[in-house]
Amino acid sequence: MTPDDGGVLLFGWRGALFRVADGVQPPKAGSLFFCRRVPVTADERVLEVGCGLGLFAVLAARAGARVVATDVMPAAVEATRANAVLNGVSVDTRLGDGYAPVAGERFDLVCTNPPQMPTPPGRERDDAEAAADNGGRDGWALLDRVIAGAPAHLVRGGRLVFSLFDFLGVKRALATLSARGFAPSVLATEVQPFPRIGYERLDHLRSIDVEGTLPAGTPATVERVIVQGVLA
């Protein structure tokens, strides 16, 4: 097998086709849940932080939104750009950390399906898979920054929407949004298979599960939550 003889991985959904490029995570249950339950309307100006292969960004653009999609990994930005072209839509793709690529800009909707798997000390890595999964010691590393920066990147009445594993703490999410001037709510919940990487980190997950969501024994499922904050 030659280095370029690895095949082409394609994902088809909702009448769109996505190339799953090397160095970009394939869509997971959380990706589909996020796309299904984050409401987007035509003509909204939308920012997605952490676009991955562009699933949400492309579908939102197909729905008529004007989408800026960012990611800290160059392969993800390129994958989203290519998948937008493949599906005949325009997505403004930008490389960078958090809000750095959109300094001074405001949106109707800021959303993210962020890396949020709590990561035990010493287990951090800097590859693409780690960027997609690892959320710092308590899972909140990027999410806390996205929430803190959202008021400066939303129009009045704009919405911040993100996904959350319930073991990160739904009460914490709602309280954090309130403290930042948002009217918080839970838009949707879904029971999903417990993530494989979560089994490898179960002891660590128990140590950060302050709201007591994890059952005793080996969990088979996890609840995934879509949380929204509307900026007053």
Ligand X SMILES: C[S@@+](CC[C@H](N)C(=O)[O-])C[C@H]1O[C@@H](n2cnc3c(N)ncnc32)[C@H](O)[C@@H]1O
The distance of closest approach from Cβ of residue 92 to ligand X in the complex, given in angstroms and rounded to an integer, is: 15
Count of residues touching ligand X (by CB under 6 A): 23
Which residues ranging from 1 to 40 are in contact with ligand X (CB under 6 A)? 25, 27, 31, 34
Which residues ranging from 46 to 105 are in contact with ligand X (CB under 6 A)? 49-52, 55-56, 70-73, 76, 97-98
In a 10 Å sphere around its CB, with 0-12 CB exposed, 13-18 middle and 19+ buried, how is residue 32 labelled? middle
The distance of closest approach from Cβ of residue 1 to ligand X in the complex, given in angstroms and rounded to an integer, is: 27
Determine which residue in the list 142, 168, 173, 231 makes contact with ligand X, applying CB under 6 A: 142
Of 116, 114, 11, the closest CA to residue 72 belongs to 114
Kindly tell me which of 152 and 212 has the beta carbon lying closer to ligand X: 152
Q: What are phi and psi of 129, to 5 degrees?
A: -65, -40
Inter-residue contact 122 to 152 (CB < 8 Å): no
Kindly tell me which of 5 and 126 has the beta carbon lying closer to ligand X: 126
Q: Which stretch binds ligand X (CB under 6 A): 4-12, 86-94, 112-120, 223-231?
A: 112-120
CA dist 116 and 139 (Å) reads 4
Q: For 50-172, where are the E strands, in sequence order? A: 66-71, 91-95, 107-112, 154-165
Inter-residue contact 128 to 76 (CB < 8 Å): yes
Kindly tell me which of 26 and 157 has the beta carbon lying closer to ligand X: 26
Kindly tell me which of 28 and 45 has the beta carbon lying closer to ligand X: 28
The answer for residues whose C-beta is within 8 angstroms of residue 121's C-beta and 6 or more apart is 137
Of 111, 150, 172, the closest CA to residue 232 belongs to 150
Kindly tell me which of 98 and 219 has the beta carbon lying closer to ligand X: 98
Of 18, 119, 106, 112, the closest CA to residue 71 belongs to 112
The distance of closest approach from Cβ of residue 11 to ligand X in the complex, given in angstroms and rounded to an integer, is: 10
The distance of closest approach from Cβ of residue 116 to ligand X in the complex, given in angstroms and rounded to an integer, is: 7
The distance of closest approach from Cβ of residue 6 to ligand X in the complex, given in angstroms and rounded to an integer, is: 20
For binding to ligand X (CB under 6 A), which residues are involved? 25, 27, 31, 34, 49-52, 55-56, 70-73, 76, 97-98, 113-115, 131-132, 142
